[in-house]
Chain A
Amino acid sequence: MSEIVDNDLIDRQPEPEAPKPVERKPISTESEWTFDLIRQYDEAIAICAKEYKLETYPNQIEVISAEQMMDAYSSVGMPVGYHHWSFGKQFLQTEKLYKRGQMGLAYEIVINSDPCIAYLMEENTMMMQALVIAHACYGHNSFFKGNYLFQTWTDASAIIDYLIFAKNYLAECERRHGIEAVEQILDSCHAIMNHGVDRYKRPSPISAAEEAKRQREREEYLQKQVNDLWRTIPLKAGDKEIKNKQRFPAEPQENLLYFIEKNAPLLEPWQREVVRIVRKVAQYFYPQRQTQVMNEGWATFWHYTLMNRLYEKGLVTDGFMLEFFQSHTSVVYQPPFDSPWYSGMNPYALGFSMFQDIKRICEHPTEEDKKWFPDIAGSDWLETLHFAMRNFKDESFILQFLSPKVIRDFKFFTILDDDTENEYQVTAIHDENGYRAVREQLARQYNLSYRDPNIQVWDVDIRGDRSLTLRHTPIDRVPLYDKEVGEVLKHIHRLWGFDIHLVSVDGDKATKSYHCPEKPEPEEEEMED
């Protein structure tokens, strides 16, 4: 019971290698791939996928070289990326790590688009290509198509067109306003990209219809010049009617980019459009950030299942399977917390184990399972799995489906780090009393509201100096990372054009405040003019 994941595999390996001999007619026996073989494997896998009711977008498989893979990496998974130095930095870093052999490249990258684009590396062996096709073209692809977050937040058929629009638009801006000017706006937008998404509201998906609407928006912009917000009637000094001062925005706004795009007083139309582009890109990636465990787990579960299915049908050789198991095992390896290789949870490992476990609970429920999962124990596994894939995100998925068995297998334990205490405390482990606590805590770790600091637009001093006040509401007293706050505020200042204040609050009490430009000490109240 030392290596959780290995045990999993050993438990299951005999399944496909069940004694009844199948007549083997392998699709191929060599490790070299050809385009023809890729097509044959894809067809075979597609047939298996259909047996399991996987619904996918049409697939577009593109074979690329290692260098192209590094390119794909550095545009953070956008098949068509606009130009920005940070992508160049990413590229240099990838290139360095790869060339020194410190990092292997991913075997594939898959794009949430319709058709679903999957990049396969030419260096892969035939087995690897088949694995990757199963993983990306049928696993991820069906996840993109089925999961509610992706359906709500992204429009797979429009994304490529939108990215092309964005790239061309930014190139045009660079031509007109200079690379520097565009780069500055992009830098600033990137700094608050994680705060450029509506967490709770359903956004309008990117679509062609919206492109048409854009024209109207430009007019709206002109309108905005005279709209109520900035129509300031100078007040006499001392005549401050603080009493009925209305806050703007009336409700705090969590989407900083959206707020800036719509309300920043000084941005020019093209700059607003740039803000919008970054916002849309952030929105496109938002579901992916929330479904790492599920998405990878789902894809891994299916490459595992589909590969085994190919073997059952006699379409692949024993050697193929051995090679497959080796790759698969390393993909789902979870180093323990004290291992030098530990860098947090491996989403592949957790997701794969959970989906396998759901299947197990459906097919062979134990007494414990029946107690914990009365709804699904003994149900149709395939239907249950599809249900789970469609209707959850990481946080809710873990909260709903993490079973005591998986908690035991991973030997999870929860540590509390309270800065008012001198010691860490182990608050729960993988035992009867701890299951629920561990599960809740792990789920929470995947809640983006806990991962990103909660910062909202609190107030704009419309009738005064037009300063923008943001409010940081810490959870469990976790403060902001001091060293970067100042830099981020500078970026927001660039976009907003007037003073920026950021206040960390505890209840209604301000605990810490940051300003840009940095506030002179409160001594000098003297203001000329």
Chain B
Amino acid sequence: MGVTHVIDRRLNGKNKSAVNRQRFLRRYREHIKKAVADAVNKRSITDIDRGESISIPSKDIGEPNFRHGKGGRRAQTHPGNKEFVTGDTIPRPPGGGGGGGSGQGQASDQGEGMDDFVFQISQEEFLDFMFEDLALPNLVQKQLKETSNFKYVRAGYTTHGTPAKINVIRSMRGAYARRLALSGNARKKISDLKEQLEAIKRSPMPPDPVFSKEDQIQALEDEIKRLKGRIQRIPFIDEIDIRYNQHIKQPKPATAAVMFCLMDVSGSMSQTHKDIAKRFFILLYLFLKRNYQKIDVVFIRHHTSAKEVDEEEFFYSRETGGTIVSSALKLMREIMEQRYPTEDWNIYAAQASDGDNWNDDSPRCSKLLAESILPFVQYYSYIEITPHEHQMLWHEYEKLMESYKERFSMQQIMDEADIYPVFRKLFQKQAEHLA
């Protein structure tokens, strides 16, 4: 019999199944994508950042093999008889005997039953699936999924590190202290001995003739020499003295941001339009969340007049009537002034509309933007969700593009994949910043 080997495997990778899990997700990606899309529609913008439970009908997920079905003649032995005697009959349970299951175990021994196969995908996987439709570049995806940005800050000293980080002063100070501490006893003894030596030298009479004065002095001096030698042997600097500068990761100091979501809710905006708009807002929200610690979201909806509402009302209530975009901009301006002073807040805004506007109003909009909004915001993005010809508002906004290239972007959108270009500059800027 050989010797038993005991091995600690705990430090080995634990994600041995990761590949198989990915295979699984790949195979059922259509199911998952649909579930994710549903979840995006259902969830609040600010709640987009977590995993989701996915449910796949068991008929789609089975692994078929040849098995026995119901029927025929079969006998089965069971434990725990209480009152049966040979020859007893038991009425067949309704449904052909499948329900009771006593004789039918084999038909479902896979334990799958009729339930759906339910499992969790992680926050990261959730975002992956969501981003897929949005056609986000990889770098941007990565940025959005990173939980936090860190920077290294000095944090005192540590006992291990790289030679490049040795702190000389600290190390020497430690060495000195150690030398003092280790030699303390010896030095105290030396000074005692020295006193004795002095005393003996001074005393005229040898107290003990056998142990002569010279001998005594000699003995004391030898002892003093020995102790001094011992002090000498204490290393000048030892490994334990060495201190290294320590740097730790710290979340980047972040400030607050406010995100204005502006949306046209006039009769011409359908629920599909709004769903696309929602993804647009989500993307901006995710971006902000990576960069700021505190984020306020303000929802402003408008038709002929604008109103600040909560998210529920923003996305799901319907209004009819005409459209005056400037009303929303005005309201945004007011809210900015009252609640979000630019010294304290980074202001981002995203506006979604189908492009309809009261023609006279469009020049007013671009003026408002140019004068009282764009100078104060970090970024303003506009999407027009329409397959039709552009109208006045688009052309007015196009003029703004010239003078506010850095902080203004606009895009016509047919489906989700068109959303990303709106943010391109924003994400690029961040990529540069990180690099």
With contact pairs A88-B22, A192-B66, A417-B74 given, residues A67 and B14 touching in the complex (Cβ less than 8 Å):
yes
Closest residue to B65 on the A side, CB-wise? A191
With contact pairs A59-B4, A96-B119 given, residues A423 and B73 touching in the complex (Cβ less than 8 Å):
no
Closest residue to A57 on the B side, CB-wise? B2
Q: How far is the CA of A58 from the CA of B16 in the complex (A)?
A: 25
* B97 CB within 8 Å of chain A: yes
Task: Chain A residues near B201: list those with CB within 8 A.
Answer: none
Closest residue to B78 on the A side, CB-wise? A337
Q: Of A35, A55, A85, A422, which one neighbours B27 at CB under 8 angstroms?
A: A85
* B12 CB within 8 Å of chain A: yes
Most chain A CB inside 10 Å of its own CB: which residue of B3, B4, B66, B69? B66
Smallest distance from the beta carbon of A395 to chain B beta carbons, Å? 13
Q: How far is the CA of A407 from the CA of B103 in the complex (A)?
A: 19
Q: Of A137, A187, A477, which one neighbours B73 at CB under 8 angstroms?
A: A477
Q: How far is the CA of A71 from the CA of B74 in the complex (A)?
A: 37
Q: How far is the CA of A357 from the CA of B70 in the complex (A)?
A: 36
* A383 CB within 8 Å of chain B: no
Q: Of B25, B79, B120, which one neighbours A88 at CB under 8 angstroms?
A: B25
CB-based contact A337/B79 at 8 Å: yes
With contact pairs A75-B17, A96-B118, A411-B79 given, residues A429 and B85 touching in the complex (Cβ less than 8 Å):
yes
Closest residue to A337 on the B side, CB-wise? B78
Closest residue to A187 on the B side, CB-wise? B63
* A213 CB within 8 Å of chain B: no
Task: Chain A residues near B9: list those with CB within 8 A.
Answer: 62-64, 68, 119
Smallest distance from the beta carbon of A344 to chain B beta carbons, Å? 6
Q: How far is the CA of A441 from the CA of B97 in the complex (A)?
A: 20
With contact pairs A63-B10, A65-B10, A481-B107 given, residues A423 and B69 touching in the complex (Cβ less than 8 Å):
no
* A415 CB within 8 Å of chain B: yes
Q: How far is the CA of A31 from the CA of B27 in the complex (A)?
A: 45
Q: How far is the CA of A61 from the CA of B9 in the complex (A)?
A: 10
CB-based contact A195/B89 at 8 Å: no
Q: Of B20, B67, B74, which one neighbours A84 at CB under 8 angstroms?
A: B20
* B169 CB within 8 Å of chain A: no
With contact pairs A89-B24, A414-B77 given, residues A58 and B1 touching in the complex (Cβ less than 8 Å):
yes
With contact pairs A42-B6, A59-B4, A61-B6 given, residues A426 and B65 touching in the complex (Cβ less than 8 Å):
no
Smallest distance from the beta carbon of B273 to chain A beta carbons, Å? 36
* B21 CB within 8 Å of chain A: yes
Smallest distance from the beta carbon of A518 to chain B beta carbons, Å? 15
Q: How far is the CA of A46 from the CA of B3 in the complex (A)?
A: 10
* B91 CB within 8 Å of chain A: yes
Task: Chain A residues near B24: list those with CB within 8 A.
Answer: 85-86, 88-89, 91-92
* A478 CB within 8 Å of chain B: yes
* B42 CB within 8 Å of chain A: no
With contact pairs A194-B65, A411-B80, A445-B76 given, residues A74 and B86 touching in the complex (Cβ less than 8 Å):
no
Q: Of B26, B69, B87, B117, which one neighbours A426 at CB under 8 angstroms?
A: B87
A406-436: CB near B (< 8 Å → 1, else 0) gives 0000111111111110111111111101100
Closest 3 CB pairs of A and B: A336-B80, A58-B2, A88-B24
Smallest distance from the beta carbon of B66 to chain A beta carbons, Å? 5
CB-based contact A476/B66 at 8 Å: no
Interface residues of A (CB under 8 A from B): 4, 35, 38-39, 42-43, 46, 50, 55-65, 67-68, 70-72, 74-75, 81, 83-89, 91-93, 95-96, 115, 119, 122, 137, 179, 183, 187, 190-195, 334-339, 342-345, 410-420, 422-431, 433-434, 438, 441-442, 444-445, 451-453, 455, 472, 474-482, 484-485, 487-488, 491
Q: Of B8, B20, B66, B75, which one neighbours A427 at CB under 8 angstroms?
A: B75
Q: 6 A-B pairs, CB-CB below 8 angstroms?
A: A39-B6, A58-B4, A68-B14, A88-B19, A424-B103, A474-B72
Is chain A's interface secondary structure helix, strand, loop, or mixed overall? mixed
Interface residues of B (CB under 8 A from A): 1-10, 12, 14-17, 19-27, 61-82, 84-92, 97, 102-107, 117-120
CB-based contact B19/A425 at 8 Å: no
Q: Of B14, B66, B87, B88, which one neighbours A195 at CB under 8 angstroms?
A: B66
Q: How far is the CA of A279 from the CA of B28 in the complex (A)?
A: 26
CB-based contact A75/B82 at 8 Å: no
Q: Of B16, B88, B107, which one neighbours A68 at CB under 8 angstroms?
A: B16
Closest residue to A74 on the B side, CB-wise? B17
Task: Chain B residues near A85: list those with CB within 8 A.
Answer: 20, 23-24, 26-27
With contact pairs A60-B5, A484-B67 given, residues A415 and B14 touching in the complex (Cβ less than 8 Å):
no
Task: Chain B residues near A334: list those with CB within 8 A.
Answer: 79-80
Task: Chain B residues near A442: list those with CB within 8 A.
Answer: 77
Smallest distance from the beta carbon of A7 to chain B beta carbons, Å? 13
With contact pairs A339-B80, A425-B88 given, residues A478 and B17 touching in the complex (Cβ less than 8 Å):
no
CB-based contact A61/B7 at 8 Å: yes
CB-based contact B4/A42 at 8 Å: yes
Q: How far is the CA of A71 from the CA of B9 in the complex (A)?
A: 13
CB-based contact B64/A484 at 8 Å: yes
Most chain B CB inside 10 Å of its own CB: which residue of A43, A433, A476? A476
Most chain A CB inside 10 Å of its own CB: which residue of B9, B26, B107? B9
Q: How far is the CA of A485 from the CA of B14 in the complex (A)?
A: 37
Task: Chain A residues near B117: list those with CB within 8 A.
Answer: 89, 92-93
CB-based contact A415/B20 at 8 Å: no
Given contacts A65-B10, A415-B103, A417-B76, 11 further A-B contacts (CB under 8 A): A43-B4, A64-B9, A84-B20, A84-B23, A91-B20, A92-B119, A414-B76, A424-B91, A451-B106, A455-B66, A478-B69
With contact pairs A59-B5, A426-B86 given, residues A87 and B75 touching in the complex (Cβ less than 8 Å):
no
Task: Chain A residues near B79: list those with CB within 8 A.
Answer: 4, 334, 336-337, 345, 410-412
CB-based contact A476/B72 at 8 Å: yes
CB-based contact B72/A419 at 8 Å: yes
CB-based contact B6/A179 at 8 Å: no
Q: How far is the CA of A31 from the CA of B70 in the complex (A)?
A: 50
